[in-house]
Amino acid sequence: MSKLTTETALRVATALSFALAIINHLLPPKAFAATQLLYDYHFGITRRGLAGEMINWFTSAPISVAEINTVSAVISLLGAGALYLFLSRDLRVGTAGYLLMILAFNSFAFASFVGNTGYLDALLLALALLGMAALSAASIPGLIARLLIVVVGVMIHENMLPYFATLMGLEIWLTTGHRRWALLRAGAPVIAGFLALIVIGLFAQNTPDQASAFTAYLQNKAGFTLDVTSTDVSGRSIGANFDLMSDMRHTKKYWGWVLFDGVPLAIMSLWLIWLNLRLLGARGGSLTALLVVGAIIAPLSLNIIAFDVVRFGVASVLVGFVTLALMCRQIDGAAARLQQTLTWPHALIVLILNANIFTMQINEGSGHVTQFPWIMLRQLQWLGP
């Protein structure tokens, strides 16, 4: 098979991998995700309220199931589509680049990302990738745009800070190199994210009484059944989260999540760290290597204060793939090293392992046990009961 024919086949395989992942896993949102999309600023600044405030512009109470399903699908497709476009832009570097994209879209992490339909994580990813694809990070307008995107992301969901602020800092570092103030510029997204989080923490409602009033308001706003645990999270402080996690770590259910969900995702993250460092090369520098590792493991830090092992592990894996694309764009010789490292046998082994691993949260929690074409029958749920 000629090189042109091989790359055409790989391009088709990449598109099919993405399309089938969407078809197999984009199902109507769970109640938790749907409830959080209702958060707004009715009572003032509220954690995770910006997205709901913007949704209010296009809907009126009570928000119907059809409306919330539409919003959920749009959010998830924005995140997944942004990832596809971002990787496609920087990984068209020969056979290995296409193999890497095929691995990304067939990974059990991407399946879980799509399967968490309507979760704000997808909107955060879309924002981060938009920020890194727009203006150059080496310019002042580009830096300001990235800082604003981090602040907006934290207002949508505080996970923006550990998920993608460090990643955007790495991208700035790779772009600016060793120019004056390069390290300060690279740390600016994290600083901006922390400041936004502090402001939200000072002004957001956190008392049980406020949370109770907020829950009553959301029940009147929704034309569907809420998940009250979502509003419990809204009224819980970070200190209370530490106490909750202390109790959770004594349960078998939590350690089941860690062992069967968290460990496979962490192993995938370790493989991505190894591959990124290979692309970086011996002359990349220890500080750059540290920033690469930090960007990939930063989402996992949330396991200290929260129990959503799958979402944090998924974010880590997706950051790993995005970082590989940044490497190919910014590091001389990275594309050639990718070609040398990610051989067909290597990619095939990783692909088989990913195809045979599934996170419990999706497989059991959301019932993603049917694959194409039978999943099409389950897709009828989008049309209502």
In this predicted structure, the answer to whether residue 201 has a pLDDT above a threshold of 70 is: yes
From 231, 224, 229, select the one nearest 210 (Cα to Cα): 231
Q: What is the phi/psi pair of residue 222, to 5°?
A: -95, 140
Q: Which amino acid is at 282?
A: A
In this predicted structure, the answer to whether residue 263 has a pLDDT above a threshold of 70 is: yes
- Using an 8 Å Cβ cutoff, are 52 and 98 in contact? no
Asked whether residue 344 is domain-assigned, the answer is yes
How many C-beta neighbours within 10 Å does residue 32 have? Answer: 18
Q: For 314-365, how does the pLDDT look when each residue is reduced to its tens digit (9 = 90+)?
A: 999 999 999 999 999 999 999 999 999 999 999 999 999 999 988 877 766 6
Tokens 């750059």 belong to 288
Task: Show the tokens assigned to 68.
Answer: 């919330």
Asked whether residue 118 is domain-assigned, the answer is yes
Report the DSSP beta bridge partners of residue 222. Answer: 63
Give the separation between CA 161 and CA 22, rounded to whole angstroms.
Answer: 27
DSSP state of 63: B
Tokens 């290979």 belong to 278
Asked whether residue 196 is domain-assigned, the answer is yes
Specify the pLDDT at position 217.
87
Lowest mean pLDDT among 9-23, 99-113, 176-190, 330-344: 176-190
Q: How far is CA 114 from CA 62, 123, 199, 361, in A?
A: 27, 12, 31, 12
Task: Show the tokens assigned to 345.
Answer: 């046998």
- Using an 8 Å Cβ cutoff, are 292 and 166 in contact? no
**Domain enclosing residue 267, as ranges:** 14-30+64-204+237-383
Widest Cα–Cα separation across the chain: 68
Burial class, 306, CB count within 10 angstroms (exposed 0-12 / middle 13-18 / buried 19+) = middle
Give the separation between CA 129 and CA 81, rounded to whole angstroms.
Answer: 10
| Count of the separate structural domains present in the chain | 1
Asked whether residue 227 is domain-assigned, the answer is no
Give the separation between CA 300 and CA 110, rounded to whole angstroms.
Answer: 16
Q: The dihedral of CA 76, 81, 86, 90: what is its sign?
A: positive
pLDDT above 90: percentage of residues in the chain:
58
Tokens 């999309």 belong to 37
From 291, 350, 354, select the one nearest 326 (Cα to Cα): 291
- List Cβ neighbours of 137 (8 Å cut-off, separation of 6 or more): 143, 146, 171, 172, 175, 176
Burial class, 57, CB count within 10 angstroms (exposed 0-12 / middle 13-18 / buried 19+) = exposed
- List Cβ neighbours of 21 (8 Å cut-off, separation of 6 or more): 80, 105, 106, 110, 111, 114
Asked whether residue 43 is domain-assigned, the answer is no
Give the separation between CA 65 and CA 251, rounded to whole angstroms.
Answer: 34
> pTM surpassing 0.85?
yes
- Using an 8 Å Cβ cutoff, are 139 and 176 in contact? no
Give the separation between CA 121 and CA 159, rounded to whole angstroms.
Answer: 8
Asked whether residue 225 is domain-assigned, the answer is no
Task: Show the tokens assigned to 78.
Answer: 């924005």
Asked whether residue 92 is domain-assigned, the answer is yes
In this predicted structure, the answer to whether residue 242 has a pLDDT above a threshold of 70 is: no
In this predicted structure, the answer to whether residue 232 has a pLDDT above a threshold of 70 is: no
Query: How many CA atoms are closer than 13 Å to the CA of 30, on its beta-carbon side?
Result: 19
For residues 9-21, give the mean pLDDT: 96
User: How many residues in the chain?
Assistant: 385
- Using an 8 Å Cβ cutoff, are 322 and 298 in contact? no
From 368, 382, 314, 262, select the one nearest 124 (Cα to Cα): 314
Asked whether residue 378 is domain-assigned, the answer is yes
Burial class, 152, CB count within 10 angstroms (exposed 0-12 / middle 13-18 / buried 19+) = middle
For residues 310-314, give the mean pLDDT: 95
Q: For 40-93, how does the pLDDT look when each residue is reduced to its tens digit (9 = 90+)?
A: 998 888 888 999 999 999 888 789 899 999 999 999 999 999 999 999 999 988
Of residues 4 and 16, the one with the higher pLDDT is: 16
* Banded model confidence at residue 288, pLDDT cuts 50, 70, 90: very high
